[in-house]
Amino acid sequence: MNDHSRITAGVLLLTIVTIQFGGYFMTKIVRGQVPMTDFQKSFARAGHAHAGVLVILSLVGLLYVDHTSLTGFWLWVARLAIPLAAILMSGGFFASSAGKDRTQPNQFLWVLWAGAASLALGVLTLGIGLIAA
- Amino acid at site 14: L
H or E, element range at 114 = helix 109-132
pLDDT at 101: 94
What's the pLDDT at 15?
95
What is the extent of the structural domain holding 94? 3-132
Instruction: Please tell me the number of Cα atoms within 13 Å of 19 on its side-chain side.
Output: 19
pLDDT in tens, the chain (133 residues): 899 999 999 999 999 999 999 999 999 999 999 999 999 999 999 999 999 999 999 999 999 999 999 999 999 999 999 999 999 999 999 999 999 999 999 999 999 999 999 999 999 999 999 999 9
- Residue 91: name the closest of 5, 7, 9, 19 by CA: 19
Indicate the number of domains in the chain.
1
